[in-house]
Structure 1
Amino acid sequence: MDLKNHPFITYFDTLQAEKLCQQAVVENFSSETIIFEEGEIPDYLYLVLEGQVEFSKHMGIGKNQIVAFANINEFFGEFGVLDGQPRSAKATATAGTTLAKIPCDQLMEILHQTNGGVVLNIFRHIIQRLRGTTEQLVSQVVYKEKMVLIGEMINTLIHDFKSPFTSIQLASEMLKEQHLDADTQEWCELIQAQITQMLSMADEVLEFSRGNSTLYKTPINVIDLLNRFHRLNRNYFQHTKVAFIFDAPDLTLSIDETKILRVLQNLVSNAVEAFNDQGGEIEIKVRATGNRVQIKIADNGPGIPQEIQKRLFEPFVTYGKSGGTGLGTAISQSIINAHGGEISFQSKVGAGTTFYIYLPL
């Protein structure tokens, strides 16, 4: 972006705008570069020409809370310029960022000479920024309160469920010992596997509410993983009239099997629910691509509503599901990120949805 076309520069008359452009220092910042620290004495006003800047406040030992962002065509650092107080937040470049830096003393000299209209425009920008920051902080406070409540509820559920789950597991083990026929053996193993999965699902929600994800990685064959997933869900697919297909090469990944099964369960269950008892098809394809493996999960359902597509991986985002919590895709993303992978999707209303998961080989 050309500096002279930046909205802040256009506030001023021609001579003042030219002077500001002459005084400005244009600088490029790589990703994660700190522009200034919280508490520093202000020396520049910054105009964003390219990229994005993240603002965060120190919240304790090793903890920082993101409070706002500045994008292309915006400016920041005006509080320090106007009141001379130390910086109220830390500024960090989050992408390949280009900034124009205008020295404080030279900017104040021009502001003293300008008309009231320019000052009003700057104040409008400040008010708009404050409103946006306030809304973001309120959302973060509400989110934290929800996560604390969920954590407390899950703790209680795990405690209350352990006794009946243990009884069910013991009963299934006794049946398995007393009845050696293949059907009984298979059903008892399925009962035990499902109870284990239910407890692990509760643990994963608890971990997510605390903001961490502990991995227990082991070498897992992808075909074995998908066979296990199919075995756990075979009756579910039959009951919901869903055709499940998978295609995978014979390769091994170092993953937390329980957590990756949880991701598959979340995404596939969402697809099954979207079929709304009308039946459908879900296909999982696994392919090695360079130093990563791609897991593609495709369905021929109604697609993800446009209303939530941009926020699908945010917690508590749900649409049209009577029992939905809006945590499934958020937990899935946190698990994939913890594995050093990526997750994305493509969806068209009325034409189905495809999720793409990339994990390191």
Structure 2
Amino acid sequence: GPHMVIRAEKMEAVTHLAASISHEIRNPLTAARGFIQLIEEQPLAADKRRQYARIAIEELDRAEAIITDYLTFAKPAPETPEKLNVKLEIERVIDILRPLANMSCVDIQATLAPFSVIGEREKFRQCLLNVMKNAIEAMPNGGTLQVYVSIDNGRVLIRIADTGVGMTKEQLERLGEPYFTTKGVKGTGLGMMVVYRIIESMNGTIRIESEIHKGTTVSIYLPLASSPSSSTISDKEKQLFAAL
């Protein structure tokens, strides 16, 4: 039957994140450089040259995958939490992923509502991107990606469901560990780890249900950003009124 894992707010802090990333990116780049150097320096047989070039390309692709999982939206400047319109943010990410979806014959169906949450825009997009990209990649032979937004017990619920390959109970439990991946050489495992960290930072929870050959559903629960009621007046406003 379907397996389920719920991640609470508090995950183990991954303190050596930046160090491990630069290490992970440097390794494939060093390897790629080495093979390109071999091609450049030695007179090689055509098949050897092709083999080295292919390895170099694979290593560069690996470096790129790590950057995508992590840093698509990363900005060097510190971000500030702001009110985010869930509908607009999801639409933006769907636009970015549409070419990938089309390539995989994945139909995206979105039922969105403009609820607001508090968070850092780039990080929130990164989080949505990673979850939706996983969903699309779980459907190599096509399928449907459903994105649905609603309110559940006073929290904003973002549900992202695919009709893909699904995961075993063991895979589901290890999801979010750095370098644990269900994608073979293409995956880094960093994408889901980032998702957990971002949702945790937004005081949210994540619930994932999966069944082999049936698909996976990721439910993200976030606090609803309350609209400022007119009765609360800021200090600055008080000063203005006092000056009148």
TM-score (norm 1): 0.43
> 1:306 touches 1:349 (CA, 8 Å); kept in 2?
no
**Partner Cα distance (1:354, 1:272) in 2:** 12
Letter in 1 for 2:121: E
Q: Which residue matches 1:284?
A: 147
**Partner Cα distance (1:145, 1:289) in 2:** 35
Alignment CA distance shift 1:308-1:320 (3 Å): same
Equivalent of 1:262 in 119, 123, 126: 126
Deviation at 1:281, TM superposition (A): 0.6
Deviation at 1:151, TM superposition (A): 3.1
Deviation at 1:203, TM superposition (A): 7.2
Q: Which residue matches 1:216?
A: 80
Q: Aligned pair 1:318/2:181, yes or no?
A: yes
Question: Which structure 2 segments of 5+ residues have no match?
Answer: 1-11, 29-66, 225-244
> 2:109 touches 2:145 (CA, 8 Å); kept in 1?
yes
Aligned-residue Cα RMSD (Å) equals 3.3
> 1:308 touches 1:319 (CA, 8 Å); kept in 2?
yes
Task: Tell me the percent identity.
Answer: 28
Deviation at 1:264, TM superposition (A): 1.5
Aligned length: 174
Q: Which residue matches 1:110?
A: none
Q: Which residue matches 2:3?
A: none
Deviation at 1:282, TM superposition (A): 0.6
SS in 1 for 2:216: strand
Alignment CA distance shift 1:228-1:300 (3 Å): same
Which has the higher Rg, Structure 1 or Structure 2?
A: 1
Which structure is richer in relative contact order (CA contacts within 8 A, separation 6 or more)? Answer: 2
Which structure 2 residues correspond to residues 116-127 of structure 1 after superposition, within 5 A? none
Deviation at 1:154, TM superposition (A): 5.4
**Partner Cα distance (1:267, 1:146) in 2:** 19
Equivalent of 1:151 in 6, 14, 22: 22
Equivalent of 1:338 in 192, 201, 204: 201
TM-score (norm 2): 0.61
Higher strand share: 1
Q: Aligned pair 1:352/2:215, yes or no?
A: yes
